[in-house]
Amino acid sequence: MQKMKLVMVGNGMAGVRTLEELLKLAPDLYDITVFGAEPHANYNRILLSPVLAGEQTIQDIMLNDVDWYRDNGITLHLNKRITHIDRKKRVIMADDGTTAEYDRLILATGSNPFILPIPGNDLPGVIGYRDIADTDAMIAAAQMHKHAVVIGGGLLGLEAANGLKLRGMDVSVVHINEWLMERQLDKASAKLLQKNLEDRGLKFLLQKHTAELVRGESGRVAAVKFKDGETVPADLVVMAVGIRPNTALAESAGIYCNRGIVVNDTMQTYDPRIYAVGECVNHRGTAYGLVAPLFEMAKVAANHLAEFGIGRYTGSVTSTKLKVTGIDLFSAGNFTGGEDCEEILLSDPVGGVYKKLVIRDNKLAGAVMYGDTVDGAWYFQLLREGRNISDIRDHLMFGQSHVGDLGHTGHNRAAAMTDEMEICGCNGVCKGSIVKAIKEKGLFTLEDVRKHTKASSSCGSCTGLVEQLLASVLGGDYSEAPKTKSICGCTDHTHAEARAVIRDNKLLSIPEVMDFMDWRTPNGCSTCRPALNYYLISTWPGEAADDPQSRFINERAHANIQKDGTYSVIPRMWGGQTNSSELRRIADVADKYAIPTMKVTGGQRIDLLGVKKEDLPGVWADLDMPCGHAYGKALRTVKTCVGSEWCRFGVQDSTQLGVDLEKALWKMWAPHKVKLAVSGCPRNCAESGIKDVGIIGVDSGWEIYIAGNGGIKTEVAHFFVKVKTPEEVMEYTTAFLQLYREEGFYLERTVHYFNRVGMDYIRQRVLEDSAGRKALHARMIFALQVEKDPWVERAREGVLKHEFEMLTV
């Protein structure tokens, strides 16, 4: 049977998403031909701003390369603009004479930037901002010229201005209205945004009407003149005042257009053989410029092209996210309110946080947030579902983690979401789909999730939630990749820069670091504070202030919060050894505090599960055992086999060496969790080959392996060195771990540190440089001697009772 011919005009995000959905439903129904006016394959237009800012490359934002079209049997014509549609013959023609017949036609012609109709708008140096060519032109201009003016203070204009500033230009933003982003922000939040951007060096000219663009002696634009007579210099002018649906081709073919190609709920135009999707469309009187509605259109169009005939597009509720690194804002729905609305406000101008929730008829009607947007996805879900919020109204402002006893730390809001709740609005991906993919496909990284589910692959605003889901599903085995650009949105400085500043200037507290490095927020956030706290105490042990409030809840409580809000307590057992006295104490504690579950862990310890928060001080005091640091960024366990003392195959005393190592290192804080193992012979019963440091006894001594990982993505440890004595094991092990402590980025496992710096570097620092090794060993011993871990003592004295009452779960 001969296939029908499907032709698509336009190669952008909406059109190609339509083909992706169609191929899922009916992969063999059509011979598909695509015409794109640009020389590039399908790319993420939303992420042009990070490319302009130098944070990503064009290659980074490609969605479907040329090979994807070939692999799916799609004929691709690049750099060809369609100029004519013959609807009677069902043929289209490109500007180079290429023709293609169709049975079904998709128009995905997108939009054009609106260029102000003022004198000088055609001068060299005056451009819009819509595609790769515009981005390349701005990057080139920034290398040759100094002054840039961006006309338009909306999303696109501010992203362009930020990128040009980062490229070294002097940038002024001209906006006709009283405040920035007036369609997405109210005045209060817009003022906070303006202040942040001004601190970055941007200039703003508000309530200004552009009269003309002035030609310079070179023939290029040289200045912008306003109606009030004021003039500002401009070697580059970027028009970012809006977009207009590109309807020229459709209109020339006699297809009905009215501020867009008019379509019905099945995405058909007035010609039923011709469909339209994307920014070129007018659906029920609305043209959408955000990606989520375009992808919803694509899904419906694909459903009907596949001849399923059941999809309907009825419009979209949209939300807004500004793609400027370090700035968090969110808005959705009717955030302006009105006479029939209630408003809930939280305003902290000094802290840079503003939240406004608008309620109508006991439903969330709109929201605008600046500085703290972690609950944006949840608010958006409430808004879209139209849920009655009267039962949670008193807690609504404080976010999802404060609604009910959810048993979450507040650092992982995604864990509190139901499986049906949407994580990625752009691609319509719910939490359940992501969790299922992580579990069934063994996904481990953000890129894996993007590849398999498309979540976080479009505008990127849900990236944090996806990372939280990875952390929630994988638990302690998830290691977030350290940020290579900056620690967090509070600063542009990297982990490496923070470490160097702390070391070179002997800074001893978090406020000193933030003041010295010009932190953008006065108190930091839950991402940067734990990192800075670790860098301080690892660089200046015994001198730097260890701030308990800058540690995560599990480290502050020396216990792990569970999904029901109770805690798990694991006392330390040296090398997995215990005795009747310790076991008796554990049993007595379990009885006294009615602890429901006790379990032997994989690290050869006993886990007490179901401990109430208020019982934690008493539990630890009655146990009278050191904390196992089971959930801290610290030494977790030293796993051992019984070794030569008991085993007939053992050739070395692995148990004693394991006990010695654990007693020496148990107070060691680290960038991430650290696990050791000692096996008494090559049979390796202690699984030493997948630990951060693994030690295996052989007839002539000990073999040391480093940078293993036994989590969901197993990494086999690398052979490091062979030594003869337990003393040498101690020296080489502590030297490697101290090197990792001093140079690893916060939340970077040893395997990732190893991959970053390489085995040759580590060998040079630890094996080849004898004096350096001994110095690393000495610094570790010093740090462990001055390391304070007064938790148990304070518990005995009852000091922690008040602290636990104040502890935020």
791: confidence class by pLDDT, cuts 50, 70, 90:
very low
Residue 257 marked ligand-binding: no
Residue pLDDT, tens place only, 507-532? 999 989 998 998 887 777 777 888 99
The helix or strand, by DSSP H or E, that contains position 590, with its residue range, turns out to be helix 580-592
Between 248 and 618, the higher pLDDT residue: 248
CA–CA gap between residue 791 and residue 419 (Å, rounded)? 38
| Cβ–Cβ under 8 Å, residues 513 and 532 | yes
Domain check: are 650 and 779 in the same one? yes
Domain check: are 647 and 694 in the same one? yes
Residue 421 placed within a domain: no
Among 602, 627, 652, the domain-final residue is 627
Domain check: are 92 and 227 in the same one? no
Domain check: are 642 and 757 in the same one? yes
Number of residues assigned to the chain = 809
Among 607, 627, 647, the domain-final residue is 627
Return the SS3 of 148.
strand
* CATH code of residue 231: 3.50.50.60
Residue 681 marked ligand-binding: yes
CA–CA gap between residue 735 and residue 201 (Å, rounded)? 44
> Cβ–Cβ contacts within 10 Å for residue 39, how many?
10
* CATH code of residue 614: 3.90.480.10
Residue 685 marked ligand-binding: yes
pLDDT at 542: 84
Residue 96 placed within a domain: yes
Tell me which range, 62-66, 97-101, 466-470, is most confidently predicted by mean pLDDT.
Answer: 97-101
CA–CA gap between residue 362 and residue 390 (Å, rounded)? 6
Return the SS3 of 46.
helix
Return the SS3 of 233.
strand
Closest CA to 806 of 619, 614, 627: 614
Domain check: are 96 and 166 in the same one? no
Compute the average pLDDT of residues 580-587. 90
pLDDT at 59: 86
Any idea which of 312-321, 407-416, 423-432, 797-806 has the lowest mean pLDDT? 797-806
The count of domains in the chain is 5
CA–CA gap between residue 212 and residue 648 (Å, rounded)? 92
CB-based contacts of 166, cutoff 8 Å, min separation 6: 53, 54
Residue 803 placed within a domain: no
Domain check: are 511 and 616 in the same one? no
- Amino acid letter for position 292: A
Any idea which of 87-91, 177-181, 625-629 has the lowest mean pLDDT? 625-629
Full residue range of the structural domain in which residue 600 is found: 552-627
Domain check: are 644 and 777 in the same one? yes
| Cβ–Cβ under 8 Å, residues 92 and 204 | no
CA–CA gap between residue 177 and residue 154 (Å, rounded)? 10
For residue 795, pLDDT over 50 is answered with no
CA–CA gap between residue 625 and residue 357 (Å, rounded)? 48
Closest CA to 417 of 449, 458, 385: 385
614: confidence class by pLDDT, cuts 50, 70, 90:
confident
Domain check: are 157 and 147 in the same one? yes
CA–CA gap between residue 277 and residue 9 (Å, rounded)? 10
Q: Work out whether strand 674-679 and strand 635-640 pair parallel, antiparallel, or are unpaired.
A: parallel
Residue pLDDT, tens place only, 166-187? 999 999 999 999 999 988 888 9
Cα 358 to Cα 190, 242, 341, 392, 398: the distances in Å are: 17, 27, 6, 14, 14
Cα 461 to Cα 194, 456, 500, 768: the distances in Å are: 20, 7, 31, 46
Residue pLDDT, tens place only, 3-55? 999 999 999 999 999 999 999 999 999 999 999 999 999 998 888 988 998 88
- Amino acid letter for position 546: D
The helix or strand, by DSSP H or E, that contains position 500, with its residue range, turns out to be helix 495-504
Residue 341 placed within a domain: no
Domain check: are 672 and 731 in the same one? yes
Compute the average pLDDT of residues 283-310. 90
Closest CA to 736 of 711, 715, 716, 708: 708
* CATH code of residue 680: 3.30.413.10
Between 372 and 99, the higher pLDDT residue: 99
Closest CA to 106 of 17, 46, 1, 2: 17
Compute the average pLDDT of residues 695-718. 86
CB-based contacts of 730, cutoff 8 Å, min separation 6: 660, 661, 664, 777
What percent of the chain lies above the pLDDT cut of 70?
90
Domain check: are 35 and 91 in the same one? yes
- The DSSP line for 663-719 is HHHTT-B-SS-EEEEEESSTT-TT-GGGSSEEEEEETTEEEEEES-B-SSS-BPPEE
For residue 372, pLDDT over 50 is answered with yes
Residue 455 placed within a domain: no
408: confidence class by pLDDT, cuts 50, 70, 90:
very low
Residue pLDDT, tens place only, 213-252? 999 999 999 999 999 999 999 999 999 998 999 999 999 9
Between 728 and 561, the higher pLDDT residue: 728
Task: Kindly provide the b/e burial profile for residues 570-583, where b requires at least 16 CB atoms within 10 angstroms of the residue's own CB.
Answer: bbbbbbbebeeebe
Residue pLDDT, tens place only, 748-788? 889 888 888 889 899 999 998 999 999 999 999 998 887 65
Between 399 and 199, the higher pLDDT residue: 199
405: confidence class by pLDDT, cuts 50, 70, 90:
very low
Among 561, 593, 627, the domain-final residue is 627
403: confidence class by pLDDT, cuts 50, 70, 90:
low
According to DSSP, residue 365 is labeled E
pLDDT at 1: 66
Between 329 and 556, the higher pLDDT residue: 329
pLDDT at 279: 95
Average pLDDT of the chain, as a whole number: 86
As given in the structure block, the two tokens for residue 103 are 């049975």
Domain check: are 658 and 605 in the same one? no
Residue pLDDT, tens place only, 90-134? 999 999 999 999 999 999 999 999 999 999 999 999 999 999 999
Between 762 and 350, the higher pLDDT residue: 762
Residue 12 placed within a domain: yes
Domain check: are 216 and 285 in the same one? no
| Cβ–Cβ under 8 Å, residues 232 and 142 | no
For residue 805, pLDDT over 50 is answered with no
Residue 14 placed within a domain: yes
Residue 318 placed within a domain: no
